[in-house]
Structure 1
Amino acid sequence: MPSPKQVRPSVLDVFCGAGGMSLGFQQAGCEILGGIDQNPYAINTHHNNFQSCKFKLPCQDIQELTNLEVIGLRPYDVDIIIGGPPCQVFSRVGLGKMRRDLKMDVESDKRNFLYKEFIRFVKYYKPLFCVMENVDNLRHKKETLASIVGGIEENGYRVDYRVLDASEFGVPQKRLRVFIVGVRSDLAVSPIFPKTVSETPVTVGEAIGDLPELEAFSMPLKAKSSGPRQKDIVLPYATNPLSKYQKVMRARNKSGVRNHLCRAHNYEDLKIFSLLKQGQKYGDIPEELMRYRSDIFDDKYKRLVWDEPSWTLTAHMRKDCLAYIHPLQTRSISVREAARIQSFPDDFVFYAPMTRMFELVGNSVPPLLAKAVAEPIVELIRDYYSIGNIKVSC
């Protein structure tokens, strides 16, 4: 009989994205079987960072994956199913943009209902546990939340949910997310959630202070390109690790810094960057420099604070990074700095064009938060397989 630490619960990641949730569960001691996503850059990044996966499925729409037998797994072959269905339709920011800018019929958007695909996987594979992640605004979508919880419960699970703040689990970012945990009813235990591990949040400076400085690339005001093309070369660290967090981020990386690329900005933006103090935003700049309505775009520009955690990173970084200006340098943050703020270690490389890298990072579950969620679940599963401490209901 294996010792508890030798047991590696198996995980299938549905809506895997780049792999933030996969990485957290792997760090907690799980075996990642594979991931499913329709974003080609996400799948490419997942494949390259989880090369030992048994199943490297092609990029595909999960709704078209009607025959789950083709994956090669049978019911009860998976210990944990994890995933974060697309959240734009549940996000306050996402909803506003879709209604205002895209004139979309939000209520009929199919992404409202992709959580049903997650439930379909749970129903078929009957894992010991399932974990779904989404934006904290989901708790206010009472009908949708009840449908998710009820759908999982109907398939033989006890279900509960919590709103967790990533900054309380070692992530240098204030990021609220809902985690819905289900445990199969024949296990006589309740859904379990992590306890806070960090009383003092990790700051932006503690997260990125050892990374090399970057030049602030500029372009004309009316330029449509993203600016000078940069090569994703390996760069040397600026210093030895200056914080415990930096040591953790560099622990497995032996080659230097990858993905340390930042966006180009026009001269007017760079001038505004230079005037903003840490924590200031668009509404704080001189009125003569304002090109947008300050009542609508009050936080269009925002400078991060060196000695505080970051505010929430979003996929909108793909469009611009104006809300994430470096605390000390006259530029927006780089992909690697964003990845650090999301708690991706430096050996995790994003394989995509730069703008898509930002999107992948912004859409990800912070690995350290996922790890915290995974650890108590892994402990219960190890007891179940190794020493029979979990009572099984008849």
Structure 2
Amino acid sequence: AMGDKISSDPRNELFNSYIKLVRDLSPEFFLFENVKGFKTMYEGRFFEKTVNGFASCGYNIHFKILKSSEFGVPQIRERVFIFGTKSDKNFQFPKSSIGGVGKLKSFKNVGEAINDLSKKDTSFQNHIILNHSETVVSRYKLIPEGGKLPSPEKLPKEIRRSNFGSTYERLDRKKVSKTLVPGNNAFPIHPTLNRSLTPREAARIQTFPDNHIFEGTRRKQCILVGNAVPPLLASKIANEIIKHSKDLHKESSNLILEKNNSLNVINFAKAKSKKTNFNFVDFFSGAGGISIGLKNAGMNCVLANDFDKNVRLTHLKNFPNINFVHGDVRNKNIKNEIFNQLDGKKIDLVVGGPPCQGFSIFGKRRFKNTKKYNPLDDDRNDLVKTYFEYIKKIKPQWIIMENVSGILNLGGGIYIDFIKKKLNLLNYKSFDYRIVNTADYGVPQKRKRFILIANNTGHIIPWPKPKYFLEPKEWQLPYRTVGEAISDLANKASQKHFSNHEPMKHSEDITERYSYVEEGKKMEVDKLPKKLQYAKYTGQKIKNFSHVYRRLHRNEPSITLVPGHNAFPIHPWLNRLITAREAARLQTFPDEIEFVGSSKDQCIQVGNAFPCLVAQRIGETILKTISNNWKPNTKSKLADYSILDKKYYEQKNQNTN
């Protein structure tokens, strides 16, 4: 299912895994199901990638939206179904029919499905009644059959609250149910009793037989029931698949795409465009991690810039419709070219991570006291100053700046003081910065980056709420892992399907050394056989650098990826370094992005990139902030609850008071 109603939710990429399974298993047929909105959500982007992905695997694609209530299920549950077949035989989805199939019963309404369960009966498993508080029961008593909770002003003061989806909605015995959604308290209210449905009652409405048992806590049972495809509907689709295999269908009215072709989703899905006309410029763009993320959030890249020749080729390959200016932004001719291309265009956001070698934690800062080194005088940091020159000229309403985490404390705060001074001079009074761990936002990599967000509009700085946790509570999501991201790339066959996925050819000695590195740990040189402790050509004892001889763990996020040909870590279970494609997965680049250049150049581009997914989350929260006009005194409680990092704002208020 589509995750969390935001396009940056990593669970939205699970369809890629489904496509890979289909390609690797190569079944004669497959059936894919999702929510109705999958067809048009995010301008049909996920639908298009999914359908085209299946077709590229050699399947004819049949598509239809089916309404469960038209097939004997007492519930208005509409779902997208995609059927793929290698055969050129006709296929038809089932036509409306009310009857049951085998032992699966059909019901014409809610009452017929659950009336016999109105009394607590211990003979029915999963028939667990939730103990509601007196306040909740008082609200339930005011809801008529088939109705919703009255508006707050019509409620007694002691039980007032805003209406809340299906939680305060009572079913009608003579009608079918609305779509059941998973959750402990999300099921609607019983038609005649002042309580929510039990898991067993919901299972009846889903047409599960009573002998189908759901395991886990009551909450888990509700989730299992609410997420399911109604068995009765599934059985009727299965019957049509059997007919298809026997060539019994007369026509294929639902064929939308023939194998190995492509579908133009705009023509098919007729998705409503959600373009915001929010334009941005991406300086020091690298391979385009930030641009990809912001574009997926709904923003429009007007121009990108970098001085690396291989980055230019990567951009031309992947983003042919985006203006790219190749060259050093300090160069007068490059400045003129950029300003000429931007002339007359509204630019809402300038984003970039100016290289700050002079600020780097690996640079001269450690010699500052002995050599009287001032990072602000370092020529390499002219790029930081130049970045603000462009901001002054372009005058965007928003700014995003990212960099290595070590610069936050450089020189006792000299870097931050410089940034603050520039922002104030340019009238960007609303700004904030923090060190972000990308694993908190669904990136399978513990990568800490400095991020600054600023605006001159007075809006809040919208830090997105973390969704993934190192030690998650029961209702929270754990950090995404290396195994989750790259397991399907371990077999040699995958090298034919994915670009930038050619493993390095290691010498026998290096491969053997890798074999001694335990999963999730560094190599211990002294524990190697003597012959492997010394370099073959120099005779010198080898040294264990931080990343070169470190193996990733499949059940943990990756360590920070650093650019370079030999700097990527070792695969969790193969005795080789990870490939550029595997590293790109850990950076959340889409598989269709192709990195141009030598193997070393590809690794540098991937390692230097900003994870696409984090850029997308930031872009989404900025757009929501603008559309909802969230300012310090107008920010909604819902925003704190579901979107923004409430903990951050609480700390901010405490520091202010």
Normalising to structure 2: TM-score of the pair? Answer: 0.48
CA distance in 1, matches of 2:507, 2:559: 24
Q: Is the 8 A contact 2:356 2:384 kept in 1?
A: no
* Whole-angstrom distance in 1 between the partners of 2:278 and 2:609: 22
Matched, 1:209 2:487: yes
Residues 1:189 and 2:459 are matched in the alignment = yes
* Structure 1: 5+ residue stretches without partners: 100-104, 216-233, 237-255
Which residue does 1:162 correspond to in 2? 434
In the other structure, the counterpart of 2:329 is 62
Q: 1:295 to 1:51 in 2, by over 3 A?
A: closer
With over 3 angstroms needed to count, the CA separation of the structure-2 counterparts of 1:85 and 1:347, relative to structure 1, is same
Distance 1:96 1:79 in 2: 36
Q: Which residue of 2 aligns with 1:246?
A: none
* Cα distance in 1 for residues equivalent to 2:492 and 2:354: 35
Alignment correspondent of 1:266: 507
Pair 176,298 (structure 1): closer, same or farther in 2 beyond 3 Å: closer
- In structure 2, the CA distance between the partners of 1:299 and 1:177, relative to structure 1 (3 Å rule), is closer
Given the alignment, which residue of 367, 370, 388 partners 2:615? 370
Gaps of 5+ in 2: 1-271, 368-372, 470-477, 535-539, 636-657
Correspondence for 1:250: none
Once the 2 structures are TM-superposed, how far is the Cα of residue 30 of structure 1 from its aligned partner?
0.6
1:173 aligns with 2:439: no
Q: Within 2, Cα distance between the matches of 1:164 and 1:359?
A: 22
Matched, 1:308 2:556: yes
Distance 2:335 2:391 in 1: 14
The alignment partner of 1:123 has SS state of helix
Does residue 1:122 correspond to 2:370, yes or no? no
Local SS of the residue matching 1:164: strand
Change (3 A) 1:349 1:71: farther
Preserved CA contact (<8 Å) 1:326 1:333 = yes
Q: CA deviation at 1:84?
A: 0.7
Does 1:42 find its partner at 2:337?
no
Asked whether 1:149 is paired with 2:427, we answer: no
Percent sequence identity over aligned pairs: 31
| Cα displacement (A) at 1:296 | 7.0
| Superposed CA offset, 1:188-245 (max 9, x none) | 2232211112231110000001114349xxxxxxxxxxxxxxxxxx845xxxxxxxxx
Deviation for aligned residue 1:60? 0.4
2:516 pairs with 1:275 = yes
Of 337, 355, 368, the match for 2:582: 337
Q: 1:45 to 1:295 in 2, by over 3 A?
A: closer
Residue in structure 2 matching 1:95, options 355, 359, 363: 363
CA positional deviation for 1:294:
7.7
Relative to 1, partners in 2 of residues 1:78 and 1:333: Cα closer, same or farther, differing over 3 Å?
same
The count of aligned residue pairs is: 334
Q: How has the CA–CA distance of structure 1 residues 364 and 305 changed in structure 2, closer, same or farther, with 3 Å as cutoff?
A: same
Larger Rg: 2
Q: Quick check: 2:408–2:416 contact (8 Å CA) kept in 1?
A: yes
Q: Which residue of 1 aligns with 2:278?
A: 9
Find the counterpart in structure 1 of residue 600 from structure 2: 355
Amino acid at match of 2:612: P
Paired letter, 2:533? M
Q: Following superposition of structure 1 onto structure 2, how do residues 220-239 of structure 1 map, counting pairs within 5 Å?
A: 235-236=495-496
Cα distance between partner residues in 1 of 2:409 and 2:573: 37
Other-structure match for 2:143: none
Please provide the CA RMSD for this pair.
Answer: 2.8
CA–CA separation in structure 1 for the residues paired with 2:595 and 2:433? 30
> Does structure 2 conserve the Cα–Cα contact (< 8 Å) formed by 1:84 and 1:133?
yes
Work out the CA distance in 1 between the residues paired with 2:338 and 2:357: 30
Out of 405, 420, 423, which is 1:136 matched to? 405
TM-score of the pair, normalised by structure 1: 0.77
CA distance change for structure 1 residues 98 and 48 in 2, over 3 Å: closer, same or farther?
A: farther
CA apart distance, 1:308 = 0.4
Whether the 8 Å contact between 1:325 and 1:332 is mirrored in structure 2 is yes
Separation (CA, whole Å) in 2 of partners of 1:123 and 1:148: 13
Alpha-carbon distance in 2 for matches of 1:118, 1:374: 20
- Please report how far the alpha carbon of residue 69 of structure 1 lies from its aligned counterpart in structure 2 after TM superposition: 6.1
Q: Which of the pair has the greater relative contact order for Cα pairs under 8 Å at 6+ separation?
A: 1
Rounded Cα–Cα distance in structure 1 between residues aligned with 2:274 and 2:546: 51
Instruction: Name whichever of 71-80 and 196-205 sits farther off.
Output: 71-80
- After superposition, the C-alpha distances for 1:139-189 in whole angstroms (9 at most, x for unaligned) are 1121112112321221110221011101011100000001111101xx222
Aligned to 1:290: 533
Distance 1:198 1:43, change over 3 A: same
1:278-315 CA-to-partner distances (Å, cap 9, x unmatched) read: 02213365153333668874654111101100000011
Q: Judging changes above 3 Å, is the alpha-carbon distance between structure 1 residues 97 and 364 closer, same or farther for their aligned structure 2 residues?
A: farther
> Pick from 487, 493, 498: which aligns with 1:257?
498
Q: Give CA-to-partner distance per residue, 1:54-102, whole Å, 9 cap, x none.
A: x232x2011003436643213771011100111444333x328999xxx
